[in-house]
Every structure is written in structure tokens, then in C-alpha cells.
Amino acid sequence: MCRVITPDQGGGHGHTDDPLSIAELLRETISQELDALTELAARHHMIEDEEVRHVLGHLIGSRRKDLAELWGLLQRVEDKAFGDHPHGHGHEH
């Protein structure tokens, strides 16, 4: 997959309003959040203390809701980027 965003050579960060760049940032964020959720779920599975498991269970549920919101946001941004068509163009004849 090609990368739309070119990192700043000075180590800083840039700002964007380009839908493709925003979508890429959101996909990276979702990927990181999924990794964090996997780690949290692994710890939930390993820990036997019921109080800790209960709190971790709530955190996992909250993260899942956040991921669903991020996914919906990504879909809306991609719709903007591709003009509401999955391939960026219509198929009318």
C-alpha cells in the first residue's frame, strides 16, 4: 500500500485536511488501538484477581466502543475521499 503522508524530515508533524491523508492517519490509529486492545485482552485473560478482571473488562468494552466510533469516522472520511463510491468513480453507462 502506498503511503500518502510523507514524514517531516525535521522530526516535526504536519497538519492535513486532505481526506486521503486523514483516512491514513485514522487507519494507523485504528491499528494501534487494535494492538493495545489485544494486549489488554491478554492481560485480562492472565490475571485471576476478580476485581482487576472486572475493571479490565470495562476498559475492554470502552475500547471496543471507541474502535467502533473510529471505524465509522474512517468510513465517512473515505466516502469523502472517494466521492461515496468504493472505487472513486461511478459505473453508470
Q: Is 3 helix (H, G, I), strand (E, B) or coil?
A: coil
Residue 58 lies in a domain: yes
Residue 86 lies in a domain: no
Query: Average model confidence (pLDDT) for the chain?
Result: 85
Residue 37 lies in a domain: yes
The per-type count for the chain, helices as H runs and strands as E runs, is 2, 0
* Domain enclosing residue 34, as ranges: 19-81
Phi, psi of 46 (to 5 degrees): -80, -30
Confidence at 84, pLDDT banded by 50, 70, 90: low
Provide the domain count of the chain.
Answer: 1
Residue 54 lies in a domain: yes
pLDDT one-digit tens code per residue, 21-63: 999 999 999 999 999 999 999 999 999 999 999 999 999 999 9
Residue 87 lies in a domain: no
Residue 31 lies in a domain: yes
In sequence order, which residues have a C-beta less than 8 Å from that of residue 12 and are 6 or more positions away?
none
Confidence at 88, pLDDT banded by 50, 70, 90: very low
Residue 65 lies in a domain: yes
pLDDT at 44: 96
Confidence at 14, pLDDT banded by 50, 70, 90: confident
Residue 61 lies in a domain: yes
